[in-house]
Amino acid sequence: MEPEPRKSVASEDGTETPAANEAAGERADSSSLALKGREVVRSVDPAKFSQISRRELLKVAPVLGLGIFAVPKVQQALLKKGLGFSDWASARLFRRGHHALTFADADLTPVDQFPINDYDVDDPGVNLENWTLTVSGALQKPGEYRLEQVQALPKFRQNTRHVCVEGWDVIGRFGGARFSDFLNMIGADTSASYITLACADDYYESLDMATALHPQTLLCYEMYDRPLTREHGAPLRLSVPTKIGYKQAKYLTALTVTNVLSGRVGYWEDQGYSSFYGL
Amino acid sequence: MSSTILEIIRTKGDETESVGRAAYEHPLVVRWCHWINAVSLFVLVGSGLQIFRAFPSFGAKIPQNDLLHWPKAFAIGGWLGGALQWHLTFMWIYLASGLVYVAYQIFSGNYGQVLFTHRDIPGVWPMVKHYFFRGGKPPATEPYNALQKHAYTTVIALGVLSVLTGLAIWKPVQFSWLAWLMGGFHWARLWHFLVMWAMLAFVFGHLIMVVLHGWNNFVSMLTGWKKDPEY
């Protein structure tokens, strides 16, 4: 390969510096093969180069701003914002008509291997004889509803994946009434934002209206074609295949249709877990 | 692809002498993305391992066979909820820096510096000989040799996979096709875990090479300028 022609090199102030040309030229001659189209564009003195380097270093300094996450006072607020943004994005990603996968009976996790997760006790001692669901809020027919009234609604069965926030997942068989049918029966104002749920073990939850109206969201009174056992939430629990496990409250006792959560989103949510956690 | 090269000259009276050269290797956007990505990867790995501690297995829940017990001291977040907050916050920072980096590399044409292509294949074996079998060092003609390009191209691909596998386990219903591609939610979680270890293997090698390549090389990721490049 031909040596590169010597380039005229301008110094910082724009004047030609023959000596610099010389130096650059020598370089170009000796390593023209290696330079591969690179050329010395200008020459600077060491002080100038230090100045350039310092300026460039300063331009990277704003990255240190991430260090704000190490400040205890603002850390919690920032992480709450990050979690809030994730929840906001999750709600945007939720599609009303999109169904969660359903599975063949052969894919079911055996019922004795379906984990029982409680925050407190496996059996909060619900009186199944006199159980009612207390319904209130933005709806036309508030009052006490018996299990038979839920069971009188069309029954749906689904083999769906239950995903726990801890990371494990099982495929269970759930049966019950569509939450949307029940909301329709009680004359709920479906333009309201949330449904809050109370449980016999003091657990509490809330569900956004879009998810409550999803066709796979069930007021579940059967698992594996048998009435709910006490440890799985008898007599009534939620089955929401589009939500994480902790959203699927057990031992339901009361339900309110509302526009405000007044700081009470759910038992785990209020300790710092995601409020929306749609799958 | 060409980069700016400076000749550094010292003037004494009428005499000037060249005391070195410097190449502008890393544009500001790349440096920003590099360090933001480094911090977010650190947080994501640390919080991810804390999340993993909640169910350190890829098998059934009942019976549960733990794969490994990762020490809490080497995790971030303190508890599952805290770790999820870190993870769900920094994943956006990680994603943003990744998207900006890739977009910048494509639109500026700067990708040629790190992208491994068929033209780099002949350079692979000489570098392998040099690194692992005491072979002579092939002459450098550009900032990165064939193996470096291979490593950087691979880690970008791993970065994309880390986002996709993460999305598949965060939103297995909305992105069920993604989870399906990975063999379902259960497998996607394992892939996410494996991609993390692959990235950590890169980071390990990367840090060793940073130490071996010396101070000038390290400084170039801060100032953009690499003093006395080999090419």
Q: Taking residues A239-262, what's their average pLDDT?
A: 95
Tell me which chain B residues have a C-beta less than 8 angstroms from the C-beta of A56.
28, 222-225
Interface touch B10/A34, C-beta < 8 Å:
no
**Average pLDDT value over all residues in chain B:** 92
Q: State which residues form the domain around B174.
A: 27-214
SS3 string of chain A? CCCCCCCCCEECCCCECHHHHHHHHHHHHHCHHHHCCCEEEEEECHHHHHHHHHHHHHHHHHHHHHHHHHCHHHHHHHHHHHHHHHHHHHHHHCCCCCCCCECCHHHCCCHHHCCCCCCCCCCCCCCCCCCCEEEEECECCCEEECHHHHHCCCEEEEEEEEECCCCCEEEEEEEEEEHHHHHHHCCECCCCCEEEEEECCCCEEEEEHHHHCCCCCEEEEEECCEECCHHHCCCCEEECCCECHHHCCCCEEEEEEECCCCCCCCCCHHHCCCCCCEC
Q: Residue A72: which region, alpha, beta or left (left: phi > 0; alpha: psi -120 to 50)?
A: alpha
Nearest-CA distance from A57 to chain B in Å? 5
Determine, yes or no, domain membership for B222: no
CA B139, B144, B145, B148 torsion: positive or negative? positive
| Residue-level pLDDT at A122 | 85
Exposure class string for A75-87: b at 16+ Cβ within 10 A, else e: eeeebeebbeebb
| Residue-level pLDDT at A3 | 41
Q: Residue A82 in contact with residue A275, Cβ under 8 Å?
A: no
Q: What is this structure's pTM?
A: 0.88
> Two tokens at B156?
């970008």
- Alpha-carbon distance of B148 to B208, in angstroms, equals 13
The CATH code of the domain at A72-271 is: 3.90.420.10
Interface touch A78/B176, C-beta < 8 Å:
no
Q: Residue A17 in contact with residue A43, Cβ under 8 Å?
A: yes
Nearest CA in chain A to B138: A34
| Residue-level pLDDT at A7 | 39
Per-residue model confidence as pLDDT tens digits over B118-165 = 998 888 898 898 888 888 888 888 888 889 999 999 999 999 999 999
Q: Does A270 touch chain B (CB under 8 A)?
A: no
Tell me which chain B residues have a C-beta less than 8 angstroms from the C-beta of A53.
219, 223, 225
Determine, yes or no, domain membership for B84: yes
Q: Does A100 touch chain B (CB under 8 A)?
A: yes
- Alpha-carbon distance of B170 to B213, in angstroms, equals 39
Per-residue model confidence as pLDDT tens digits over A21-72 = 444 443 433 333 334 445 667 888 888 889 999 999 999 999 999 999 999 8
CATH number for the domain including B43?
1.20.950.20
Nearest to A38 among B2, B16, B186 (CB): B2
| Residue-level pLDDT at A5 | 40
Interface touch A35/B231, C-beta < 8 Å:
yes
Determine, yes or no, domain membership for B17: no
pLDDT(A169) > 90: yes
Determine, yes or no, domain membership for B21: no
SS3 string of chain B? CCCEEEEEEEEECCEEEEEEEEEECCCHHHHHHHHHHHHHHHHHHHHHHHHHHHCCCCCCCCCCCCCCCCCHHHCCCCCHHHHHHHHHHHHHHHHHHHHHHHHHHHHHCHHHHCCCCHHHHHHHHHHHHHHHCCCCCCCCCCCCCHHHHHHHHHHHHHHHHHHHHHHHHHCCCCCHHHHHHCCCHHHHHHHHHHHHHHHHHHHHHHHHHHHHHCHHHHHHHHHCEEECCCC
> Two tokens at A127?
């009186």
Per-residue model confidence as pLDDT tens digits over A172-181 = 999 999 999 9
Determine, yes or no, domain membership for B64: yes
For chain A, the domains span 10-61, 72-271
Determine, yes or no, domain membership for B231: no
Which of A21, A83, A243, A267 is the best mutation test for B, with the most CBs of B within 10 A? A83
> Two tokens at B111?
């990708």
| Residue-level pLDDT at B231 | 78
pLDDT(A124) > 80: yes
Distances (CA, A) of A135 to A138, A141, B94, B130: 10, 8, 44, 75
Nearest-CA distance from B130 to chain A in Å? 19
Q: Taking residues A2-27, what's their average pLDDT?
A: 40
| Residue-level pLDDT at A171 | 96
Nearest to A56 among B62, B174, B224 (CB): B224
Across the A/B interface, how many CB contacts are shorter than 8 Å?
Answer: 185
| Residue-level pLDDT at A64 | 93
Residue A99: φ, ψ to 5°: -90, 145
Tell me which chain A residues have a C-beta less than 8 angstroms from the C-beta of B28.
56, 59-60
Nearest one of A272, A265, A264 to A76, comparing CA atoms: A272
Domain tally, chain B: 1
Tell me which chain B residues have a C-beta less than 8 angstroms from the C-beta of A167.
51-52, 54-55, 189
- Alpha-carbon distance of A274 to A279, in angstroms, equals 12
| Residue-level pLDDT at A14 | 40
Q: Does A63 touch chain B (CB under 8 A)?
A: yes
- Contacts within 8 Å (CB) and 24+ apart, A263-268: A264/A196, A264/A204, A264/A206, A265/A206, A266/A204, A266/A205, A266/A206, A267/A119, A267/A203, A267/A204, A267/A205, A268/A119, A268/A165, A268/B81
- Alpha-carbon distance of A27 to A25, in angstroms, equals 5
